[in-house]
Amino acid sequence: MSFDLSSVNLQEVHDWSVDLARRAGQMMLDGSNKRFQNPSTEDHKTDAKKNAVDLVTEVDQAVEAFVISEIEKRWPSFKFIGEETQSAGADSVLDDHPTFIVDPIDGTMNFVHGNPWCAISIGLSINRIPYIGIIYSPFLNEMYTAIRNQGSYLHKPNQPPLRLPLQPPTPLAVNTALIITEWGADRTTIGTSALSESSKENFDVKLRTYFNLLRNSPNMVHGMRSYGAASLNLCSVAAGHNDAYWEGGCWEWDVCAGWVILHEAGGFMCEGNPPENFEADVEGAKVEEATLIGRKYLAIRGAKGGRKEQEDLAKWVWKSMEGGRMTYGR
Ligand code: LIP
């Protein structure tokens, strides 16, 4: 049975989460300063999780522990799913209950390098739908916020909040598209023949798709960008700075908050993989909304031509996969 939404004061949770994000952001700033002012590894650890490019620092863990303790104090009946808690072995499963879905530092690789494109991402899911999104990058001093059905905003110091998108939606087309993609941590490949042979490795499926979207053709995209943090990537699509963001392999904590920010800016989060039998009936294929825990996402900005233009771009990305599918377990 679905959860009774009316029992949750969304504005109250939103305002509380904004304050929490600011306090966690200060921990990121302090943690980064300490790491760079005193680079000796004794105090600062950068551990590899799945592999050498899937990193966690003591700051990620400290911020998540802080967030959990604050949530337990203020919202003891709400559930929690967080990147570091899950990586440490918790196997929380998303259900209809109000659940905070948190990435303490999204863009940890950027954080380790002192690259400012990283943020705390705080999402609230109810009935497995993102209802609140707070994404704060203390280094960029930008906060993105949204409550479902109440719009999404960019907050910068000393100015009123800016409603998203930041410019009226323009027409959306493949041959003028700027698309964000990420290489991610899963780099298994069959090697240089990945473009010619139909390897099922996720990395190879991505490589072929990037190649097909970029290569010289009447429909080559304007360009691709990789910034390194799913949450801020979604905000930049919501703002209208980029037209789409395609990634497989990230998790619900990377996308929950950004999803509602995108949705409230007229954007659409669809599946990162085409539906079954897509290649047999491209025209008739349905472009469905993605699932929060699906780990394969294609975010598309609001378009002047509405859902039709969004779906056409989605189908072009899917066509560029040449029958490949990304496969990510839980
Ligand atoms: C990152 C995501 C990014 C993905 C990286 C990593 P993290 O999250 O934001 O989109 O490409 O592999 O998963 O680990 O920095 O929180």
pLDDT tens for 293-312 read 999 999 999 999 999 999 99
Ligand 1 centroid–CA 254 distance in Å is 7
Structure confidence at residue 43 (pLDDT): 62
- Nearest atom of ligand 1 to the alpha carbon of 107: 15
Question: Residue 87: which of 111, 108, 110 has the closest Cα?
Answer: 108
Ligand 1 centroid–CA 76 distance in Å is 28
Confidence of residue 42 (pLDDT cuts 50, 70, 90): low
* Tens digits of residue pLDDT in 242-253: 999 999 999 999
Structure confidence at residue 264 (pLDDT): 98
User: Is 83 annotated in some ligand binding site?
Assistant: yes
- Nearest atom of ligand 1 to the alpha carbon of 105: 16
Structure confidence at residue 69 (pLDDT): 98
As a whole number of angstroms, the distance between CA 13 and CA 157 comes to: 22
- Nearest atom of ligand 1 to the alpha carbon of 111: 15
Confidence of residue 199 (pLDDT cuts 50, 70, 90): confident
**What's the angle, vertex CA 30, arms to CA 24 and CA 35, rounded to 5?**
125
Ligand 1 pocket: which of 182, 235, 246 to mutate (most atoms within 8 A of CB): 182
Q: Dump strand ranges (E) for the chain.
A: 46-48, 55-57, 79-82, 99-106, 119-126, 129-137, 142-147, 152-155, 162-163, 178-181, 223-225, 244-248, 268-271, 296-300
As a whole number of angstroms, the distance between CA 267 and CA 306 comes to: 9
30 catalytically annotated: no
Ligand 1 centroid–CA 138 distance in Å is 18
Confidence of residue 180 (pLDDT cuts 50, 70, 90): very high
Structure confidence at residue 188 (pLDDT): 87
As a whole number of angstroms, the distance between CA 230 and CA 236 comes to: 10
Structure confidence at residue 92 (pLDDT): 86
Structure confidence at residue 58 (pLDDT): 94
- The distance in angstroms from the start CA to the end CA of the chain is 24
Structure confidence at residue 41 (pLDDT): 58
Look up residue 151 and give its two tokens.
Answer: 């719009």
User: Is 254 annotated in some ligand binding site?
Assistant: yes
83 catalytically annotated: yes
**165: cis peptide before it, omega within 30°?**
yes
How does the average pLDDT of the chain come out, rounded?
95
User: Is 105 annotated in some ligand binding site?
Assistant: yes
- Active-site residue (options: 83, 182, 243, 264): 83
* Tens digits of residue pLDDT in 82-126: 999 999 998 889 999 999 999 999 999 999 999 999 999 999 999
Structure confidence at residue 40 (pLDDT): 67
Answer whether residue 20 shows pLDDT above 80: yes
* Domains annotated on the chain, with CATH: 5-163 (3.30.540.10), 174-320 (3.40.190.80)
- What is the average pLDDT across 185-211? 86
The DSSP bridge pattern shows strands 152-155 and 142-147 to be antiparallel
- Nearest atom of ligand 1 to the alpha carbon of 53: 12
Answer whether residue 314 shows pLDDT above 90: yes
Q: pTM for the full model? A: 0.97
Ligand 1 centroid–CA 34 distance in Å is 23
Confidence of residue 193 (pLDDT cuts 50, 70, 90): confident
Structure confidence at residue 85 (pLDDT): 96
* Tens digits of residue pLDDT in 218-277: 889 999 999 999 999 999 999 999 999 999 999 999 999 999 999 999 999 999 999 999
